[in-house]
Amino acid sequence: MIDISGNSGVGMSSDKGSDQNSPNYRMSYRDVAMHKVMLQDVVRTEAYEKSISDVVRPEHTVLDFGCGTGILAMFAARAGAKRVIAVDRSPFIKTAQEIALKNGFENIDFYHDDHQSLQLDEQVDVIVSEWMGHCLFYEAMLEPLLATRDRFLAQDGIMIPAQVSLHAGLVCDEDLSDDLSFLAERPYDIDFSPISHVPLQQTDLVTLDPESILKDTAHLGSLDMHRISKSDNPRVFSGTIKTSKKSRIFALCGWFSAELSPGVRLGTGPNDLPTHWDQVLFPLPEPFTVDAARELTITISPLTEQVGKEQFWYWSITDGEKTVSVNEQQQQQELAELPSGKL
């Protein structure tokens, strides 16, 4: 079974608040609904608490980048850090400061800044950030985080998460195929052919049950958060799968896992404990038959990554003889802007 969430706002990335680049940006108590969803994600929040507790030492200065409610900064203070710095570009950071003071955390300094405007008089020992979006890059904030790391993390400093990885599965759920093909079935006896192909070539956010994907999955690559460079763009992730039986698949499914610190792992796939993160669905324009005798290569590439920009992806699957690929950005560019007035 599949839940197509259509979720484009709540829990989109981390505890970092609203997108300040949006023309409709404003801080309001509506932000609380978003932060509540993430705080209710016990899997995510307790994993971060465990990692921070394991890593932070009394001599450490800790920077919580994109702090949101300040929960990770408070975990660092509770772990005994000498100094904690909480940074967020949203005005909600004032509320985060109020929460921290209400709970007796007086050694947390709050900065209403982004990665460009932040000024500190010292290097930090630990940077913690819950920056990841769905399938890592869906409205995430990787580039600002890397800029902050390059400016302020001490040599031999610690990043939480330490490493993130991208994974993909093969979706065999026929209910999904029926849903994607709805417009092609002439609903209400109307021919929707000008748009019927779009759901088959457009990503969506989904929550899949384990039985919706084949057992075999692909590891597409990992990012070492200490070493990855801002210049590593565009990123292309590729991996192989050899299935155990012949099947028809209708889409790819992508998700991420994270090693927060040694021994503390977080996963967001269909076989993991549920989190506030969805998986990303990468539909195929036509069903693809996979055979146990043929190795499959899956490629997924985020074509855009920065916060506030519309997210586009490229994805493909090949068995060496047949290849199916989709480029969302190219399709979007083919849509011409129309002048006002009668067509």
In the chain, alpha helices (H): 31-39, 42-55, 71-78, 93-102, 142-152, 174-180, 328-333
* Exposed / middle / buried, residue 280 (Cβ in 10 Å: 0-12, 13-18, 19+): buried
Q: CA-CA distance, 92 to 229, in Å (whole number)?
A: 29
> What CATH architecture is 29-130?
3-Layer(aba) Sandwich (3.40)
For the chain, the 3-state helix, strand and coil shares in percent, each to the nearest 5, are 25, 35, 45
* Exposed / middle / buried, residue 72 (Cβ in 10 Å: 0-12, 13-18, 19+): buried
Place of tokens 């990012």: 223
Q: Comparing C-alpha atoms, which of 286, 217, 218, 281 is closest to residue 250?
A: 286
* Exposed / middle / buried, residue 246 (Cβ in 10 Å: 0-12, 13-18, 19+): exposed
DSSP-assigned letters across all residues of 125-159:
EEEE----BBTBTBT--HHHHHHHHHHHEEEEEEE
Predicted local confidence at residue 339, as pLDDT = 81
Q: CA-CA distance, 220 to 168, in Å (whole number)?
A: 7
- At 180, the amino acid letter reads L
Q: Where are the domains of the chain?
A: 29-130, 164-333
Consecutive 10-residue averages of pLDDT for the chain (343 residues): 38 39 45 91 98 98 97 98 96 95 96 96 97 88 93 97 98 94 96 93 95 96 93 84 94 98 97 96 96 94 71 94 92 71 89
pTM: 0.88
> Partners of 221 in the beta sheet?
166
Domains 29-130 and 164-333 share a fold: no
Supply the DSSP symbol for 180.
H
Predicted local confidence at residue 309, as pLDDT = 62
> What CATH architecture is 164-333?
Distorted Sandwich (2.70)
Does residue 256 sit in helix, strand or coil?
strand
Q: Would you say 269 and 167 are in contact if contact means Cβ atoms under 8 Å apart?
A: yes
Q: CA-CA distance, 88 to 67, in Å (whole number)?
A: 6
Predicted local confidence at residue 30, as pLDDT = 61
Predicted local confidence at residue 234, as pLDDT = 64
